[in-house]
Amino acid sequence: MTINISFQKSEYQKADTLIVGVFEDGALSDPAEILDNYLDGTLSYAIKANSKFKGKVGQALHISAYDQDFRQIIIIGVGKEADLDHKVAEEIGGKLLSTLKTYGAGQANIRLSGSHDFEKITAAEFANRIATGLHLKSYEFNKYKSKKNEKKSEGLQKLVITTNAAPEAEKLYKDTSKICDGVFLSRDLINEPPNQLHPESYAELIKDELKPLGVEVEVLDEKKMQKLGFGALLSVGQGSIRDSRLVIMKWNGNKKSKKSPLALVGKGVTFDTGGISLKPPAEMDLMKMDMGGSAAVVGAMKAIAGRKAKANVIGVVGLVENMPSDRAYRPGDIITSHAGKTIEVLNTDAEGRLVLADALTYVQEKYKPEVIIDLATLTGAIMVALGFEYCGAFANDHDLWDQLSLASSDANEKFWRMPLDEAYRKEMESEVGDLKNLGSLGRYGGACSAAGFLEHFIEDKVKWAHIDIAGTAWGKSEKPTVPKGGTGFAVRTLDRLVSHYYEARK
Ligand code: BES
Ligand code: MG
Ligand code: ZN
């Protein structure tokens, strides 16, 4: 569903559905009051008559109306005025879309007064964030529905947001809509079935999506990677009929900068069967989302390039399919990574760290980034620790963590800091090789030992964060602004990180 969202100052907008806000204490917003007067108290009567309507965030009250201009009014709860911030605004927007769908709105007009800023958010940003929530919620993945009527969702076509802050809101939303494009791409990639999205087709898709935006895209095939000695990444992919790929994306938005670029690295296991250490059958289909880290990187590149960010960012994704077969890598194998470190494979299902190891080494060797952020659906253990709400963020630098923390809060995505420690690094040392891919403590602290493994591939002085998104890349139930399935998690945080800390650096 594509909704045309725009901002206007003028109150009069052609629409079948009018939306006005009410606070939790029952107070009408200014536009609600004006409408209430115009309709001889219909709104206040409806609020009084419905004992369940409390004006809580996103709660809605529907009124059918006889008017030549509109046919229904939706009163939407916005909570307490003092609590209004970007997160509440996005929740209002997301929940509003569901309500508009329920009532079959085609052209809607939400009236915000916008004549004053709130304590925690400006009027323009408030309008922009309502639009953001609504836009994010409008995502649908139905390309594999063969019937036309199931494909085409009859829904909201047009939303006009009236606010005195329209010009500023419009400007903010221009970037927002590009960021949403990145989120939607990321969700699409995750939702694609693994017979369609495999390393080869994925690499092509990245080219098709990003090249038109001015992103340079380079693809390393197996031959090139063999030459470079990517023993870790290639071992994971060797059981699959599909060739592995490494895709490098370069966005040079600040040509004058002499600083090294920000590097984003993503795990792109297009399907993780576990390999010879085969996973149990229950919900194995979900392992199509094991490329969620790479989807975050690709989506972030799309957002950054789409809004022409004045920053230099390199994205690298390692694309492999982890399959069991007669030529698959085995538990017991000792393989040699691109960094030269040997790795004893103890479990072929601990494959993500092997893919990341070579991608991390390559990006450091080639681009000398000061800061690297890797993203991966790396461990089930992070889900044991944090569930589906927070991702786990490991950082070797306090400032980098602070930046990530602020960017993620702005982006309305939840990041929780996890520990890096010498002990976790030590745990990953092997008796027969340099490293092993499974910690001595097994499941205990599995997300931390995985991070400890990766740390062996980070060079001195490089600032690095590892983001384990195993619990947040996929949604089993819908949230106010995130539908079920691929969430596109971390795209917005990466975009905000670039916006706040990397744009227009000298
Ligand atoms: N892709 C999985 C992690 C995962 C699990 C992501 C569930 C999303 C949802 C990863 O490759 C994996 O299999 N990890 C193992 C590691 C173990 C063998 C050390 C795990 O977490 O069980
Ligand atoms: Mg695995
Ligand atoms: Zn995996």
Give the residue among 281, 249, 275, 277 at the shortest CA–CA distance from 263: 249
Arithmetic mean of pLDDT, 8-20: 89
Kindly tell me the sign of the dihedral angle through the C-alpha atoms of 476, 478, 484, 487. negative
Cα 203 to chain centroid, rounded: 19
Work out the mean pLDDT of the chain and round it to a whole number. 96
- Determine contact, residues 327/237, Cβ cutoff 8 Å: no
Q: What are the residues whose beta carbons fall under 8 Å from the beta carbon of 434, sequence distance 6 or more? A: 341, 342, 343, 456
Q: Which atom of ligand 1 is nearest to the CA of 274?
A: 13
SS (H, E, C) 11-62: CCCCCCEEEEEECCCCCECHHHHHHHHHCCCHHHHHHHHCCCCCCCCCCEEE
What pLDDT is stored for residue 281 in this prediction?
A: 97
Instruction: Decide which of 491 and 26 is more confident.
Output: 491
Encoding tokens for residue 474? 């996929």
Give yes or no for residue 68 having a pLDDT over 80. no
First to last CA, the chain: 41
- Other beta carbons within 10 angstroms of residue 408's beta carbon come to 23
- Asked if pLDDT for residue 127 goes beyond 70, the answer is yes
The answer, yes or no, to whether residue 439 has pLDDT greater than 90, is yes
What would the pLDDT profile of 421-431 be if each residue is shown by its tens digit? 999 999 999 99
- Residue 100's pLDDT is 97
In this predicted model, what pLDDT tens digit does every residue of 100-121 receive, in sequence order? Answer: 999 999 999 999 988 899 999 9
Which residues neighbour 351 within 8 Å (Cβ) at sequence distance 6 or greater?
236, 269, 272, 275, 320, 322, 437
* Most informative mutation of 273, 290, 382, 383 for ligand 1 (most atoms within 8 A of CB): 290
Q: Which residues are catalytic?
A: 279, 353
pLDDT band at 271 (very low <50, low <70, confident <90, very high): very high
* pLDDT of residue 151 exceeding 60: no
Pairwise pLDDT comparison (487 vs 67), residue with the higher score:
487
d(CA 303, CA 211): 13
pLDDT at residue 13, rounded to an integer: 77
Ligand 2 centroid to 383 CA: how many Å? 14
pLDDT computed for residue 380 by the predictor: 98
Residue 442: pLDDT band (50, 70, 90) is confident
Q: What is the longest distance spanned by two Cα atoms in the chain?
A: 83
**Of 106, 105, 95, 161, residue with least CA distance to 128:** 161
Task: Report whether residue 379 contacts ligand 1, using a CB cutoff of 6 Å.
Answer: yes
Instruction: Supply the pLDDT for residue 295.
Output: 99
For residues 176 and 132, is the Cβ–Cβ distance under 8 A? yes
Mean pLDDT over 193-214 rounds to: 98
User: How many Cβ atoms are within 10 Å of 184's Cβ, its own excluded?
Assistant: 22
Phi-psi region of 58 (alpha: psi -120 to 50; beta: other; left: phi over 0): left
436: tokens are 């092993």
Alpha-carbon distance of 123 to 327, in angstroms, equals 60
- Rounded Cα–Cα distance for residues 127 and 93 (Å): 9
Count of CA atoms in the C-beta half-sphere (13 A) of 436: 17
CA 229-234-239 angle, to 5 degrees, is 150
Q: Please give the number of the atom of ligand 1 that sits closest to the Cα of 349.
A: 13
Per DSSP, the three-state class of 244 is coil
Ion ligand 3 contact residues with beta carbon within 5 A = 269, 272, 290, 352
Q: How many helices (H) and strands (E) does the chain have?
A: 16, 19
pLDDT one-digit tens code per residue, 157-192: 999 999 999 999 999 999 999 999 999 999 999 999
> How big is the chain, counted in residues?
506
Residue 506 has pLDDT above 60, yes or no: no
Mutate to test the pocket of ligand 1, among 273, 291, 379, 427 (most ligand atoms within 8 A of CB): 379
Chain-centroid distance, C-alpha 63: 36
For 49, the token pair is 């008559």
Residue 443: band (very low, low, confident or very high) from pLDDT cuts 50, 70, 90: confident
User: Quick count: other Cβ atoms within 10 Å of Cβ 454?
Assistant: 23
CA of 346 to the centre of ligand 2 (A): 12
Q: Is 470 in the pocket of ligand 1 (CB under 6 A)?
A: yes
What's the CA-to-centroid distance between 349 and ligand 3, angstroms? 6
Q: State residue 481's pLDDT score.
A: 98
Nearest to residue 78, comparing CAs of 136, 118, 138?
118
Residues 274-287 pLDDT 10s:
999 999 999 999 99
CA distance 209 to 211: 6
Tell the residue nearest (CA) to atom 9 of ligand 1.
470
Q: Is the pLDDT of residue 351 over 70?
A: yes
Give the mean pLDDT of 246-268.
96
Check pocket membership of 392 for ligand 1, CB cut-off 6 A: no
Give 382-412 as a DSSP string. HHHHHTTT-EEEEES-HHHHHHHHHHHHHTT
Q: Is the pLDDT of residue 371 over 70?
A: yes
